[in-house]
Structure formats: structure tokens, C-alpha cells
Amino acid sequence: MNMKIDDEISKKVLSLIPEDMNIFLVGGFLRDKFLQNESYDRDYVLIGKNIIPAVRKLSESLDAHFVMLDEEREIVRVVLDDKINCLDFAKCSGENIFDDLKNRDFTINALAYNLRENVLIDTENSLDDLKRGIIRAVDEKNMKDDPLRVLRAYRFSSQLGYEISNETINMLVKYKHLLKHVSHERINAEFMKLLEGEKSADVISEMKDSGVLFEIFPELKAQMSVPPNLHHHLWLIDHSIETIRQIEENFSSQPDFVKAHLLEAFGSTSRYSYLKLSALLHDLGKPSTWTIEEETGRHRFIKHDEVGAQMAKPILRRLKFGNAQIAYVQKLIKHHIYPSQLIKSDTSERAINRMYRRLDNEAIDVILLAEADRLSARGVEITQDIVDNNISGLKKLLEGYYEFKKNQKPLEKLLSGTEIIEIFGVPQSPKLGELINSLKEAQLDGDVVTKDDALEYIKSLL
């Protein structure tokens, strides 16, 4: 198909590649071009000899950064000096470009554009699937070759809002067990991209139905055994997914300061994605703390918030999340009940301010998680008045935090570690750290205000 792809960077690349080398723009950039989405990552397939030296010379001409990704398979990356545009070059997989396209993951990524001839190559009905919004595997063997594609199918479904074809779903179920052979770093990256989708909850629900979700988070499978009760209308796993859905559905109506906060860069993505991850995991502790009262039949989950926060750490470490992101998720799980406990009419301003100080920069996130949690629990004892009053109270807490933050003064350092050592003879040790943390907690609670208070407080702990 004759078609002109107007891309200045690709024109420049073509001018710097040896004339005896054929070059094709492939994959995601073409998909995004068709969908009119901005894209800064370009993938090129090269056919010819001495590919690595040719790309190295191109990189030098562009004054760009050259990265060797796989010398054996001749895959290299060129990062332009704007640090935004990234160009990947690979030797053709097969005898020709048609063979290469048959080795791609999904038809929506199996387009190629011959830069020399200005010809679009579509051997896999890619354009048709793009128009229809279908994610279809190119070939079953490709799923076995790289099982990460099992998760990538759901990631594209979430990001693009596309449906996965039935035959492809059957492949995902068939090969989901191979995800255990994929590095946790790659799984982490794909799952967080999945959470960037506007309706990621729907996709995660599909992952639950296929069992793929439990290949990544086997600890969630226990939630399949916790049924609805007087407070919850859903099975526990569905409640966790519904909590994500409520976060997504309410995002557009949140105040501007909340949206700006959630869209801040955090880890590899944004706070918003990590809030959704926290929602998925917020009731991790319920299955192991679940009891049923004999007399009333009520379901109890005592301290499930604390247990869940503890459980989250090894899970997130296994999946190679950073320390800051692990601490964030743990904090949200541990405190997701906290805001709803403070919306009674007799709650003092001091108690509310204590929560703001204690949660600090995550106060917004915890309140939003509490809101979504409430909206996702509609058991027979939960009337609309209960829901409305709870949500109204949480929104007031959110507004109050905005005012609190504007007027907040930094927490005064009343005693340094050195002073505690000198005055009380405490050695450099874990005990010293515990004393400093306890003092900070007492300040946050308003029990310690002056330096004399701090001295008396430390003395009382020794």
C-alpha cells in the first residue's frame, strides 16, 4: 500500500543509513500514527550487512547516545539528545520483512513501512484490527517464545480500550503459566503500564477470569474464597477490583489540586497508577484475619489493614518495586480505614490535623482510597444514607487537607540524635532510631510541643 509517513526523524535516519541497506519503520510508532497518538519511540528493522557499525555512525552523526541492547542479535538503541525520542534498531528476524512481521506479538503491532519506497506493508490484516479495536495474536508460537506477551495483551487492551479476540484469550490461558519464566522487572513494567489505562479495572477483571492475575499476584487467589456479607455485596476479589473502578470513575470529578497530585511522576509512572495498585492490594490481609461470629453471623477482619500492609512488602519486593513505591503502597493499605474513622461529628480538629500530619503527602491518596472502598461496599446493611454521609465526610477531609497544607509549618526538630546521646547516654544503635521516631510521633499527636516536653518524653521512655 502506497502511503506517506511524514516523520522528520525517520527522514533523517534514512539519510544517514547506507544506501545498500534496506530500512523499515515498524510496530508501535505506526500503530500510534494510525490512532493519532503522540509517540516518541521508533523501531526500525534493517536488512543488510554491518548493521551495528552503521547505527553507531548514525548515532555519532545525530550527536546521540548509543546503547548496545543485544550484540548477538544486533539490537541497538539510539537516544536523541532531547532525552525524549528513542530509536531502536534491529536486524531483520527472518529472510525478509514478511518473516519479521510474522514474529511480532499482535497484529496491531505488525505493520511495516518501507522508508525507501514509501510503502506500507500489512500482511497480517493489522489495519483492519486497528479499525475494529481488536487485539489478536499473530502466531501462537510467538506467545511461547516470549510469555510476557500474555500480559502485554492485557496491557494493550487497557491502554487502547481494545477487546482481545477469543482465540487470543485461549492462548493467554494456555500459556499463562509460562509467566513464571519472565523476569519480574519486565512484569512490573507491563503491569504498571496496564494501570495507566482509563478503564484498567475492566481489564484486571478479565485477568481474574482467565487466571492471569493470579500468576502475577498468587496471594490474591485467597480472596476468591471470601464471599459477600452484610457490608459487602461482592466477593472479596471483585470488591478489590471494584475499588480500582471507583477510583477511575471518580477521577474526572476530583478537584484540580487532587488531579495534579495524582498525575505527579512517581516511580516509572504516576501516583495515580500506584493508587490503583494499592486499591488492588488494600484487602490483602482479609482472608487470613477472617472470622464469623457464631451468634450474629457477622464477618470480622480484625487488623486486616495492618496484616495487609505487612503482606504487601514481600510481594512488591518480589516484583522489583522500588523502596519508595513499596512504602507508599504499604502506607495506603495500613491507613485505608483511618479517614472513615474520623468523619464522626464529635471528631476534634486536633485529631483530624494529627491524621494530616501522620499521612503527610499521602493524605490525599489515603482519603481517595477510603472513598473508593466505601463506594465498592454495598451490602444489605449499607444504606444510601450511610454511603452519602461517608463520602460527604471524606470530601470535607480532602478539602480540609488542602487548607491545612497551605498553612502547615514544618515540624520543629526539638531534639537531635546527638543531643539524645549526650544528655541521656544512649549509644548509636537501633534504640536511638526508635526514640527519635517515637518523639516524632508524639509531636505529630500534639503531645510534645516544646523542648522541655521532648526531654521529659525521652526520659519517660528510658
| CATH fold group of domain 8-132 | Beta Polymerase; domain 2 (3.30.460)
What are the grid coordinates assigned to 379, written together? 451490602
pTM (2 d.p.): 0.89
Q: Return the domain boundaries, the chain.
A: 8-132, 134-196, 217-407, 417-461
Cα 309 from Cα 329, distance rounded (Å): 8
Low-confidence ranges of the chain (pLDDT < 50): none
Write the class of the CATH domain 217-407. Answer: mainly alpha
User: Is the distance from CB of 104 to CB of 132 less than 8 angstroms?
Assistant: no
Closest CA to 277 of 218, 325, 337: 325
Measured in degrees and rounded to the nearest 5, phi and psi for residue 249 equal -70, -25
Look up cell 477472617; give the residue: 290
pLDDT of residue 459: 87
User: Is the distance from CB of 187 to CB of 148 less than 8 angstroms?
Assistant: yes
What are the grid coordinates assigned to 122, written together? 500489512
Terminal-residue alpha carbon distance, the chain: 81
Task: Name the 3-class secondary structure at 22.
Answer: strand
pLDDT of residue 83: 85
User: Is the distance from CB of 46 to CB of 90 less than 8 angstroms?
Assistant: yes
Rama region for 189: left / alpha / beta (φ>0; ψ in -120 to 50; rest): alpha
Determine the length of the chain: 462
371 contacts: CB under 8 Å, gap ≥ 6: 246, 250, 391, 394, 395
Cα 175 from Cα 351, distance rounded (Å): 52
Q: State which amino acid sits at residue 24.
A: F
For CA atoms 135, 136, 139, 143, the dihedral sign is: positive
Residue 189, classified by CB atoms within 10 Å of its CB into exposed (0-12), middle (13-18) or buried (19+), is middle
Cα 357 from Cα 337, distance rounded (Å): 16
| Residue 6 CB neighbour total at 10 angstroms | 7
Cα 414 from Cα 429, distance rounded (Å): 20
Measured in degrees and rounded to the nearest 5, phi and psi for residue 448 equal -125, 120
pLDDT of residue 1: 60
Look up cell 504487601; give the residue: 312
pLDDT of residue 2: 56
In 127-226, beta strands by DSSP E: 134-135, 163-164
pLDDT of residue 437: 86
Q: At what angle do helices 8-16 and 51-61 cross, to 10 degrees?
A: 120
Task: Name the 3-class secondary structure at 332.
Answer: helix
Cα 40 from Cα 269, distance rounded (Å): 16
Specify the pairing of strand 41-47 against strand 86-91.
parallel
User: Is the distance from CB of 63 to CB of 83 less than 8 angstroms?
Assistant: no
Measured in degrees and rounded to the nearest 5, phi and psi for residue 87 equal -120, 120
Cα 9 from Cα 42, distance rounded (Å): 9
For CA atoms 118, 123, 128, 130, the dihedral sign is: negative
Write the class of the CATH domain 134-196. Answer: mainly alpha
